[in-house]
Each structure stands twice: as C-alpha cells, then as structure tokens.
A and B are shown apart, each in its own frame.
Chain A
C-alpha cells in the first residue's frame, strides 16, 4: 500500500507530485519538531490550574453559577490565621433583617448552612467550611470582607475542578480575578488582611 494515488491522477506528472509531497512532509515534520523544540527550551513548562486572585475578587456570585460543573468547583476557604474568631461573625450572621440572634438557618448568611460555627472559649468561635455543602456563592466572603478581617475567601477547589482549557468563570468574571497558575502552587491565599 504505497502512494495509491499516483496511478489515479494523470496530471501533473506523478514524479513531481511525489517529490513535492516528500519535501513537504519533511518540512512539515521539521516544523512540528521545531514547535516542540522551542517549547523544550522554555524554562518552565508545567501544567497550569485556574485560580482566583482574592485581592481582586468582589464576590459577585458568578462563581456559583458560571462553572461548568453542576455544583461549582469554587468553594469558600477559611484562612484561620487571619480570622478574629468573632462571636458575631458577619460572614456567618446576616447583618440586617434578623429577628433574633440564634444560629437558625434564617439568621445565617450561608444559603446552604455550609459554614459551621464551633465554640472555642470565652467569646471566641471557630468557623469552618463544609466543602460538600458550599456552592461558592461568596455571600459569607462578602460579609467577612465588608465588616470583618477578610479571612473567608473563594478559591477554586483543585480536587473538584476539571481544569477546563478555558475556565467558564474566568471569561465572565467582571473583576478579571481568575487566571492560570502553576499547578504545583495552585492556591492564592491572602497572607495579610486587606487594609
């Protein structure tokens, strides 16, 4: 099974055609090899992951709705070292419209009760996120950033994200907060509270 075409086309002459295709095949392979070679010369060529820059994110809510997964890969993450362990956490309790200060669902910011409030000592409470319940809506994050330390942040959970070649949220994010990062260093937690 070699060059079956050559007997079937009468013009141009087969030999010229053959020569051309061998040449082009050679050039093509060299070119494709060139692409690979150039890439080899790059210092870093690891894989990338999508992540949210917490200093840009404005908790618009699109993270919960724009991800291609039925339940967003974006989850709330708590940076405990930045937290004040507040009794009245504004990421946990709704600020307005509450009737009574108890931990009833209607008083919680989180629509799915994914934020868990645990008594530690004195007036101090620890807040942890249950990733299975969190839908990444960012409501608690917004409350925390507005009145609190900003220790609750949204991050793309790398164990859930399917690493779309083009993150659907990134295109829609009005704050342009989502970009690629090296996958070995896939999270972008704040190190300081925001001023």
Chain B
C-alpha cells in the first residue's frame, strides 16, 4: 500500500511542477530546531586566503632578493639550488601552484580587457605576483627563474644529460612562447578562458592530482627535460617573454667570469649551459658577415619589413577572428546548440560522432533554463570583439617575427665568452666551470687548456 501511494505521488508530481513550494516546511510540534544552513557552510581554508596572501607576497619578495644575492653576489650554484628546492616545496607543493606570476598575466589581461564588465577586479596579491618578478628582472635579470619559480624548479631538478641545441632551433621553437603569450592574453582579455592555467603542465604534480591532459603533458616535458633542459621555460613559458623583453635593460647581469675579472677564453664553460645561453667569441669564426654599422638601406628595408609583416599578419588575424572565437566556451556552446537545433538527429551522418558527443552539452544547457536567444546574442557579441583582438595578435606576431629576423642580420663583435641575458635563467652552473673563478690546482692548467 505504501508503495502504491508512493507511485501515485510520483505520477502526480509533474502536475505540481509549477507550484511555488511543492512541500511546505512543516510545523514541528516536537520542538525540532531547523538547522541554519548558512552557519554550516565551510569557511575557506586559512592557508588559502586572507593574511596568507601577504605572507606569500613577502615570501616571494624575500625569495627574489635571496636569489639575486646568491646569483650575482655570492655566485653560488649550491645556494641557488637550495633556494630553488625550497621554493619548489613552498610555492609548488605547499601552496599548490596557484596563483603564480605566469598565470597572473591572464588575471591582469582580464582585469584590463573586459573583466571589469563582469565585475572582476584584480586582487592585490595577484597584482603583486605579476609585478614583483618583472621589477626584479629590470635590476637583476631573470633571478625569478633560477631560484623562485616552482615550474622552473621542477624542470631544473630533473636535468640529467642536457644536449646543446643548435641556435636556430632554440630561437625558432622559442617563437612559440610569443604566440602562446599572445593567444593567452587575447583569450583572457576577452574573458574566455585562462589557457595558461588550463595547460599548466606541472600544477598537477604540485596538487598530486589533476586532469589527464595536464599530467600527460607534464610527464612528457619532464621526461624530455632530462636531455633538453627546461623545455617549458625556453619554448613555452609566456612570462619568459615579458622577462626577455626587460633583460636588455637590467642593471646587473650574470657574467661567466666574476665581473671584475677578464675571460681567458679557456673554452671550459662552452658546454656548461643546459639552456644554450652562452655566446662564443666571434673572433674565431672568420669569414662570417658582420654588420657593425647599419646604413640607410638597412634601416629602410627593416622598417618596411616590420610594417609589411605586421600589416599582413594583422589582416590574416582579422580574417581568422571567427575561428579563434571558437576557443571561447560560450561561442562554442552556441555553435553546438545551433547545430543541434538545425540538424535533426536522423539527418546526422558525417558529424554524427561529434554531435552525439555535444548533445549532452545541449541537453544540460536546455535544462539550465537559460534562453537560447540570449546565448546566441552573447556569442555574437564575443565573436565581434574577437575580430579586433586577433588583428592585434597579428600585429604582435608580425613585430616579433620581423624583429627576430632583423636580429639575425646584426652580429656584435664578442671577444669573450658571454651570456645572452635574455635566455639566461641565472642558474649559476657556468660559474663552477670558469677557471678564472676557481683556478685549477698548479696554476699551469689555464695555459694548457687554451692551446
């Protein structure tokens, strides 16, 4: 009987759907006190917010200062290494990665580029995360990368037998980071998604769990990273692009020999940099073209190249806007819903597989009760905003590529072994190999090596 009543009850239910409150709150005669749900809500973990944010910023500032001191003044690889491990533990495994300067690029872009409309305001903590390492770069070069960044640290720790890549590979593949930065800023500024965080390969390790694609990407990079030092740092990291742009203006920089001493060209350090940041003296490479003075023609060609390439890519980017806009979740959802509405299930042949997959999204979207027209309007607005954004992305890539190309025509004369500060991650490995730093026992060794 009870079961029967239950069934009747269930069958009647759809009829009651429109009732305001289907089952009113009972009047308890036995004096039962209804728990207050708002009092039961779990509060955010203390170590995740509040004063913790300031502790983190202080930790970041201290770590950066320590790193600068160890790299430039103390010149101690061991010290840098220990600091790096400490940072890996604190910023990585203890703080579980977020938020980091790399990811904060997006928060800044979001806040500037349109997040404001959605009520997003950059927090102090995130702003400081973004600014501090860049400010330090202006004075000390990339000391953030050597001793502080947990993403760099985890890669540095696995370097085993690093090979030297040809310079053009380094520079060529390194262009990816510029494109990645451009796309990530674009997506964040338009409020679409935080791509850098979605594809952060290491944060999954810090949290000891995460989406499969993250863990997979991270494992591949770490496995390859035993032989090619710091793949993420050199070819992917968007923050590195910002630092690269600032390093030429750094006050103090890494030098292989102690700053007050001169290089003796012993060649010992030649292979010591796992990241290909050491530049050999140009002397020995006779016959290479060397443009020391740039004439009018050079300047004319250069300016033309920069302008032409930027305009071309801007035009291409503008055309690609609608395609790029599909990276936005709202736009994608709208196109899926549209497809589902226009193509009936019987007619689906070619894209059957895909649509079947997307049907779930359409179903959930419908259940959520939001009007379809609103979704379309939102998507259309986003697509429109994207066109100008992708054009700017084109300009950015045009500038990057043309300036890189022009850079190859300039060869500076170098008499010593020097460091390309833009690529140098300040790891202090080369110091150990420099004979000027620590003379070999006997003192005669220097001459022998030179011959």
Contact = CB atoms under 8 A, between A and B. Distances in A.
B401 to A, nearest CB: 22
B123 A166 contact: no
A2 B413 contact: no
B72 interface: yes
A100 B6 CA distance: 11
Interface in A9-55: 9-11, 20-21, 24-25, 28-29, 32, 35-36, 39, 42-49, 55
A168 B200 CA distance: 12
Contacts of B362: 174
A164 B10 contact: no
A58 B9 contact: no
Interface string A170-194: 0100111101100100110100110
A108 interface: no
B151 to A, nearest CB: 13
Contact of B124 (A45, A79, A82): A45
B3 to A, nearest CB: 6
A101 B48 CA distance: 44
B265 interface: no
Contact of B107 (A49, A82, A100, A165): A165
A164 B106 CA distance: 13
Nearest to B40: A77
A21 B125 CA distance: 29
B414 A8 contact: yes
Contacts of A124: 26, 28, 32
Contacts of A97: none
A25 B44 contact: no
Given A1-B252, A148-B22, 8 more contacts: A1-B72, A11-B412, A24-B249, A25-B249, A78-B37, A120-B30, A164-B203, A174-B368
Contacts, number: 250
A128 B437 CA distance: 69
A159 B368 contact: no
Contacts of B104: 165
Interface stretch (B127-135, B305-313, B391-399): B127-135
A60 B360 contact: yes
B20 interface: yes
A36 B209 CA distance: 34
From B25, B252, B418, residue with most partner A Cβ within 10 Å: B25
B18 interface: yes
A108 B210 CA distance: 30
A85 interface: yes
Contact of A77 (B37, B207, B329): B37
Interface stretch (B95-103, B167-175, B219-227, B295-303): B95-103
A171 B195 CA distance: 10
B249 A80 contact: no
Contacts of A86: 23
Contacts of B338: none
Interface in B211-262: 211, 246, 248-253, 255, 259-260
Dominant SS among interface residues on chain A: loop
Given A149-B23, A186-B44, A189-B38, A21 B248 contact: yes
B113 interface: no
B344 interface: no
Nearest to A68: B210
A162 B131 contact: no
Contacts of B73: 1
Interface string A144-155: 001111000001
Contacts of B25: 81-85
Residue picked from B37, B128, B421, most chain A C-beta under 10 Å: B37
B10 A174 contact: no
A84 B23 contact: yes
A105 interface: no
B160 interface: no
Contact of B367 (A8, A58, A126): A58
B207 A57 contact: no
Contact of A68 (B23, B32, B204, B370): B204
B61 interface: no
Contacts of A146: 13
Nearest to A11: B292
A8 B421 CA distance: 13
A25 B370 contact: no
A85 to B, nearest CB: 5
B374 to A, nearest CB: 11
A131 interface: yes
A162 B365 CA distance: 27
Nearest 7 A-B pairs (CB), nearest first?
A: A84-B23, A166-B194, A175-B368, A159-B42, A166-B197, A58-B367, A174-B364
30 contacts: A9-B413, A20-B249, A25-B249, A28-B246, A35-B130, A39-B124, A42-B121, A42-B122, A44-B121, A47-B49, A47-B53, A68-B210, A84-B24, A95-B10, A124-B28, A131-B42, A146-B13, A158-B41, A159-B44, A161-B44, A163-B48, A165-B99, A165-B106, A171-B193, A174-B362, A183-B44, A183-B49, A186-B44, A189-B37, A193-B20
A121 B22 contact: no
Contact of A174 (B32, B48, B50, B361): B361
A79 B293 CA distance: 76
A3 B100 CA distance: 30
Nearest to A85: B26
